[in-house]
Structures are given as C-alpha cells and as structure tokens.
Amino acid sequence: MRSDYAVVGKRIPKLDAPDKVTGRTTYADDLKMSGLLAGAIKRSPYPHARILSVDASAAEAVPGVYAVVHAGNVTQRPFGYGHDNIPLKDRVVRCVGDEVAAVAAVDAATAQSALDLISVEYELLPAVDDPFEALQPGAPRIHDELDIEGNVSMEWNFQTGDLAEAERRSAVIVSGSYSSPQAAPAPIETHVVIAGFDADGHLEVISPVHMVFMYRKELADCLGLDWRRVTVRQPPVGGSFGGKIDIDAHDFIAVMLARAAGRPVKLAMSREEEFTGTRTRQPIHFRLRTGAAADGTLQFRHAEVVSDNGAYNAWGSHALLVAMNTVTSMYRVGTSRLAAKVVYTNKNYGGSVRGFGNPQATFAVEQQMEELADALGMDPMDLRLKNANRPGDVTPQGLEITSCGLSECLETVRRKSGWDQRRGRMRSQHRGLGAAAYVHVGGGARIYGSDGCGAMIKIDDSGRVALISGSSELGQGSETALAMIVAETLGVPLEAVSVSHDDTDVKPWDVGVHASRTTFVAGNAARMAAAKARDELLEAAAEVLDRPARSLTIRDGVISVPGEPTATLRYEKAVRRRLLREGSSIIMTSAFYDPPTQRQDENHIGNISASYGFGAHVAEVEVDPDTGMVRVLGLWAAHDVGRAINPMSCEGQIEGGAVMGVGLALSEELPVEDGRFPAPNLHDYGMPTAMDAPPIDVTLIETADELGPFGAKGIGEGGIILPPAAIANAVADAVGVRPRSYPIRPWRLRRWIETGERSHVDKHPHPVPDENAR
C-alpha cells in the first residue's frame, strides 16, 4: 500500500481546534440578530390525550409578546415518514413533550410567563408505553387516523434459504431474548434554531441540523413555502450523534413564530426538552436463534424483532434496515430470517442515533456467537474467524463485501487482550473477557434517491484553495479530512486549503451527514474536484515551463519536471499567470460523487453501500458479585478503516464512540414511569464521566478500499456498536450469567446472579447425520 503521501495518513490537529480551545467558536446560541425574539414551546404533560381547546388570549395580552401560535391559528401540513406527525398538535397528543402551542416574546422570561397563561383543555386517553402491550388486541389505538392494525407502524421481513433444513443441519442451536433501552444522543449543545424572514419574504434558518437539503424541503412542504426562497445555514455544531439529523416539530414552530411575529425568533431547547422533545434511540427487542454445525460453521440466524418506535415515525423507524444487515450479513450465516414490527407507543420517539440499530442487533448476535462457542466447546474467537466475512463475499441481502479486515481485527484484539491466556480463567477474581465484532456501512448508504455529495474548488490569486463541500462538520473532523484529501490530491500545503460547508445557497447538494458516509462520499467528491483543479494547474504551468502538462508533477505547492531541477514553478504563480492577462481565467472546478450502490428492493436486497466497515472489540470487566457493579478495566478496539486519512481523528471517533457504547452497556437509559421520563436530566441519565471511561487501546487496520478516497472507509459509528455486546460477554465470562438486556445496572446484574440467568442451548436438536455437520 502506498505510504509516500505528503498529507494523508499524518496525525493532523483539527483545523477548527484552535478556535474551539480558546472559546472563539460561535454556536447557534451564540448568534444574535437585530430584533431577535425568544421562543418557548408549550408541551403536553400527558402521554395520550385529546385536545379539547386551546385558549391563548391571556398569553397574547402579555406586554412584550409578539406571537402565540397553536394549531387553531397556523397553516401546517403533516410531516414525518408516513406523514403521521404535525408540528403543533391539532387533535391528539401522543407523548409527553408533544408540542401544543408556542410563544415569541422580547425575552425568554416573558415568553415563559406567557406560556404559563395558555390554557389547554385535555381529555385523557388510555396510554401504552410497552410495545408488546401495544400489539395486543384491545390496546389503545395511538394513531386512529391511520389505517393500521395493532399499532404496527411498519414491518420488515426478510428470508432466504430453507430454515427447516438449516435447523436440521445444526448440531447446536442457541436461543434467547435480548433487549435494549430507550437512550439519548445527549450532545452537550442542545438543539437551537433561529428563523427569520427578510423584508422580501426570504426565509433564513440557522440550525445545527445535518441533512440540510432535506430539512429545507420538509420545512417548505409543511409550511407551504417556496423552497427556492429558503436558506439554511449551519453554524458549528456542538455534537449531534444523530440527534440532529431529523427535523423536529420545533424547527417548524420557529418558522411559524417568525412569520407570525414579523421578527426573527430563536428557540433554544432546555436540557429537559432535549430529552423529551428531541429524538432518542429506540429500544429494540430481539428474539434470536442461531444454529451451527458441530465444527462451528454457522447454519442460520432467525430473528423476531419488535422495535419500540414511540409516538411518531422519524428516521428511527428505519433503524431496522441496519439491524437487518447485521442479522443476515454479520459473518457468513447463509440462511437467515428476520420478521420485525415497528410499533407505536405513547413515548418520545426514536431517531437515527449513532449506530442506527446496530448496537441493539449486535448485542443479540454477538452474545449468541459466544453462547454457541461455549456450547460447541470452541473458542469464541475461533468460531468468529471460521465464519468471518471475506473479500468477495456477497451476503444474503446482496451486500457486496470488497475490502474486509474483519479477521485481522479479530486477531489483533485477541492478541492484544491476552485472550488465549486469560478468557475463562479469571472467574475466581470475578473478571472476564468478552468480544464482539461488527459489519456496518462504510461507503455511504443509499436510503434516498441519491446518495451523492457535491464539491467545488476554487484557487484564487493568493493560492488559497477553497473547498466548498455539500457535507457538514459536526466535530467529527470531516472538515480536516476533506482539506487533507484536497491538499494531497492537488499537491499543495494543507495550510493553503479552507473548507466551507455551512450555507445551502452556496454549497452543492448532499444527502447529509449520516451512515458514516462523509469521508467516503464527500471525500470522493472533494478528491474528484481537486483532481480537475490539479489538471488545470498543470496545464497553466505547462505554458510557463514550456513542457507538456502530463510530464509535470506537483508536491508541496511546487510544480516541477522530474529530472530537471531548475524547471520549477510555484502553483500560485501558475494561477496568476492564467489570471493576469487578456483572455484570463481562474481555476474553479466542481464534481458530484454518487457511490455505485443500490437502494434495497421490497425484499430488502441490494448493495446499499459501496464498501463495508468492520471492527472487533475485546472488553475486560471486573464484577462485584455482591453489588452487581461492573467496572470496565480495558477495551481493545481494532477497526478496518480502509485507510486512515487522519489517524488521530479516526482514533477520536473510535474512542468517543466506544465510551458512548460503554454508557449504553452500563448506565444510560431513559426509563418511563406513568408515560413520562421521571428524570430527564444529565445527573440521572448516566452519561459516562472521565472516571467511568476505560482506557481504550485502538488499532487502525488499513485495507485500502478500492473505491474509498485514498482507500478510506467510514468510521463515524464503528466505535459505539460493540461495547454493549462485548461487555455483556465479558460479564458472562466473569460471573457465568448472561445479560439479556442493557444497561447492565448493578441491581439488574445482582438479580440475574441470584436467578442464575443462563444461555438457552439446544444441543443436538435433531439427530444429525455426520456428513451434514461439516
């Protein structure tokens, strides 16, 4: 693999880091506008109720109030997948936090006091917060306006192969149920949106959302705006983790308030609203069976799944898309079946939080790998390696595995953790090791007509290279990675490159930041635009140097002729020679990259991503058997990143994701009591602190993906997928009981230790002739 790059592969500090460490970066809440009003939202205190009346007259009379909006005085259309949601609820509220009315006033205190004067009359309806109860006949109907049965919002079904035959081939079948909690992305910056119309009626929205073009369309569709007259600007984002992908009701409400008030309005979510009124990670319940032949060859996987959607369909309703990939395509499993129901409940609803269904699915799939191995008397790493996906595989869903470092990832964490010497041998100290591995999209994910991203490059007379990318920077370091890709492709110093990506009027179209796609898709677009700019630079230089362009090279900003040390030209000079003459031109290029992938068909078959990322973790835990307290002593992480454009940023993604995963595994959840979150705050939520975060040993495995920019694949989500599964497996190794749900909080583990929760293994389920146990 090439390693003589000038920029790619170097540990480069993020370009935006100096401003961030000095407090100079301005986020949405730091922005001001002339005449800016403060908005506030009145939310439902009930999980399910009919709205009988809204009386806003007292609020409207408060001095300093500019606008009060509710369903009775605005024009709005439904939004969300299947149009099951509306910004200001008009008839029924379906979860605590549902938006009923809103106020814009001169300041936040006035807005809040006016809000308290809005009187809403409700008729309480029976509510259901458990998806299994919601499925029962006679359960309260959460969307009686929709033609659906049993509160089932959608179903996901897939099957391939002959399940009965695969069961007959299996020497061992393990079965079990595995559940995950409602959790939150919980960025430190809450959602803040500013909306204002100019005097000509053009709408500007400042929002940390990172699917800006879809956001613009949805705003316009719902509010009846001409979307050519809507500009979305994205300030630096104070963390998202998927929470800021979806458009939320408050986004529409900010625009409604600005329209009604005739002044710009800022809506800043409180921390409580961030938990109750913005998107969460949906609980997914798996009933899973996996079968293997006596030699460990996987025979089948069979999943019955219930996803607890919450009250409406946001992107979270599609998390099954990724969960299904894991069930059918993690390891060579062949015969697989999945039947999933996405079920409405009267709770805050699910979005597309980092990992998007994969941590939940991997928790089930990877625990069963270790349960199977134990039942077969095999080492779990050997079982994984035996069944590992390999380059050239096509999975049952049609995922085309190209670059694949899964085996190398497994071998790396096995070696580094001392797996062979230590697993299964530390129970007397209540310590254990557990592993898990993943497959995840790494080359975009075609969930929309286009999975493309545009890029434009201009080089000005100073030599400044400006990349204008369709993608967004959320803190993950994509801006720096894109600048590195451009600098490497053009052959100019990194400090000459700037990246802009914050304005829909300026930047080219992009689906948005999701599915670990930015480095791959936006990176390829940037690379293509930079390659064109390089060609133009060399042509300009060819005229000056009087040599054919194809004979020239450029590195570090110097254009030269190999073998002729005196024939050199700085690239800025080549730009100026083109510009400062009659018949002048400047260097300005563009490209649009759409990965060569397919949208999955109605049978969920299709190569959704241009490449796939893989990784493996081993976790080491120590359990206090008296209290049930689990401490993660260490985490070894190896990830196939294709090529690390910026190794420091790759590590940052993996370490940060892994600690979010440790939070999922051990502490983070939003339990519901009487239809509400009793403690929607950061004190009780259970986000890991520096003391809870284990030391993490990261190894980057480079497999040089054929289609990735310089071989890179996505890594934004990889880190978070594995800790729940790896830690559960480590707990099983330490104390011999099998966690069936996470977070593995002390009182739950203590109960499992008392009740002796074990694996459900069916050995020799059928009389198996030897020849079938290959």
**Of the candidates 20, 758, 763, 764, which one interacts with other proteins according to CB under 8 A?**
20
Between CA 707 and CA 469 the distance in angstroms is: 19
For residue 754, the 8-state DSSP code is H
- The residue within the footprint of other proteins, chosen from 49, 487, 659, 664 (CB under 8 A), is 659
**Is the Cβ of residue 237 or residue 734 nearer to other proteins in the bound state?**
237
Which of 5, 6, 10, 25 lies at the binding interface for other proteins (CB under 8 A)?
25
Q: Is-contact 475 354, C-beta < 8 A?
A: no
> Residue 581 interacts with other proteins (CB under 8 A)?
no
Tokens of 235: 């300030």
Task: For residue 599, give every residue at least 6 positions away whose Cβ sits within 8 Å of its Cβ, in sequence order, or none.
Answer: 446, 447, 449, 606, 608
Q: Does 565 bind other proteins (CB under 8 A)?
A: no
Choose between 572 and 620: whose C-beta lies nearer to other proteins: 620
704 exposed, middle or buried (CB, 10 Å; 0-12, 13-18, 19+)?
middle
Asked if 437 contacts 409 with a C-beta cutoff of 8 angstroms, the reply is yes
743 sits near other proteins (criterion: CB under 8 A): no
Pick the binder of other proteins from 476, 504, 519, 703 (CB under 8 A).
Answer: 476
CB of 740 to other proteins, least distance (A): 26
Near other proteins by CB under 8 A: residue from 2, 13, 198, 391:
13
Considering the complex, state which of residue 26 and residue 584 has its C-beta at the smaller distance from other proteins: 26
Q: Of 271 and 750, which has the nearer Cβ to other proteins?
A: 271
Q: State which residue, 84 or 668, has the beta carbon closest to other proteins.
A: 668
Using CA atoms, how far apart are residues 52 and 160, in angstroms rounded to an integer? 50
Q: Which is nearer to other proteins, 184 or 288 (CB)?
A: 184
Quote the CA–CA distance of 266 and 37 in Å, as a whole number: 6
Nearest distance, CB of residue 354 and other proteins, angstroms: 10
546: left (phi over 0), alpha (psi -120 to 50) or beta: left
Residues contacting other proteins: total by CB under 8 A: 55
Q: Does 680 bind other proteins (CB under 8 A)?
A: no
Report the residue from 2, 30, 500, 674 that binds other proteins according to the rule CB under 8 A: 30
**Shortest CB 649 distance to other proteins, Å:** 7
Strand 612-624 and strand 629-640: pairing?
A: antiparallel
- Which of 1, 3, 4, 22 contacts other proteins by CB under 8 A? 22
Contact between 24 and other proteins by CB under 8 A: the answer reads yes
Q: Of 14-22, 120-128, 312-320, 413-421, which part binds other proteins (CB under 8 A)?
A: 14-22
Indicate whether 714 belongs to the interface with other proteins (CB under 8 A): no
Residue 113 sits in the site that holds other proteins (CB under 8 A): no
416 contacts other proteins (rule: CB under 8 A): no
Binding to other proteins by residue 11, rule CB under 8 A? yes
Asked if 109 is part of the footprint of other proteins (rule: CB under 8 A), the reply reads no
Considering the complex, state which of residue 275 and residue 710 has its C-beta at the smaller distance from other proteins. Answer: 275
Distance of alpha carbon 722 from alpha carbon 613, whole angstroms: 13
Question: In the complex, what is the shortest distance from the CB of residue 487 to other proteins, in angstroms, rounded to a whole number?
Answer: 18
Sheet architecture: strand order including 696-701: 431-441, 612-624, 629-640, 696-701
Q: Which stretch binds other proteins (CB under 8 A): 164-172, 196-204, 248-256, 687-695?
A: 687-695
Nearest to 82 by CA among 299, 277, 309, 307: 309
Single out the residue of 27, 81, 122, 227 in contact with other proteins (rule: CB under 8 A). Answer: 27
Rounded Cα–Cα distance for residues 608 and 444 (Å)? 8
Query: Per the omega criterion (within 30 degrees of 0), is the bond before 723 cis?
Result: no
6: which 2 tokens? 């000038």
Shortest gap between Cβ of 664 and other proteins (angstroms)?
13
Residue 322 binds other proteins (CB under 8 A) = no
DSSP labels for 675-723? TB-S--SHHHH----TTTSPPEEEEEE----SSSGGG----TTHHHHSH
- What one-letter code names the amino acid at 300? F
Q: x/- binding map, residues 182-221, to other proteins, per CB under 8 A?
A: ----xxxxx-------------------------------
Count each helix (H run) and each strand (E run) in the chain, helices first. 21, 27
Contact 120, 53 (CB under 8 A): yes
Closest contact distance (angstroms) between CB of 21 and other proteins is 4
Q: Is residue 408 a contact residue for other proteins (CB under 8 A)? A: no
* Count of alpha carbons within 13 angstroms of residue 548, beta-carbon side: 2
Q: What is the CA radius of gyration of the chain?
A: 27
* CA–CA gap between residue 132 and residue 343 (Å, rounded): 8
Nearest in space to 483 (alpha carbons), one of 553, 530, 443, 451: 530
Applying CB under 8 A, among 2, 19, 58, 596 the residue interacting with other proteins is 19
| Options 37-45, 231-239, 449-457, 735-743: segment touching other proteins (CB under 8 A) | 231-239
Residue 765: what residue type? P
Among 474, 591, 618, 645, interactor with other proteins by CB under 8 A:
474
CA distances for 450 relative to 205, 548, 579, 592, angstroms = 24, 38, 36, 11
In the complex, least distance from residue 251 CB atom to other proteins, rounded to whole angstroms: 20
Residues 594-653, interacting with other proteins (CB under 8 A): 648-649, 651-652
Q: Does residue 550 belong to the site contacting other proteins (CB under 8 A)?
A: no
Instruction: Collect all residues with Cβ–Cβ distance below 8 Å to 703 and sequence separation of at least 6.
Output: 403, 404, 405, 408, 640, 642, 711, 713
Contact with other proteins (CB under 8 A) among 146, 152, 494, 687 = 687
404 binds other proteins, rule: CB under 8 A: no
Letters for 253-292 (x = contact with other proteins by CB under 8 A, - = none) are -----------------xx---------------------
Residues making contact with other proteins (CB under 8 A) = 11, 13-14, 16-27, 29-30, 186-190, 236-241, 270-271, 474-477, 648-649, 651-652, 655-660, 681-683, 687, 689-691, 693, 695-696, 719
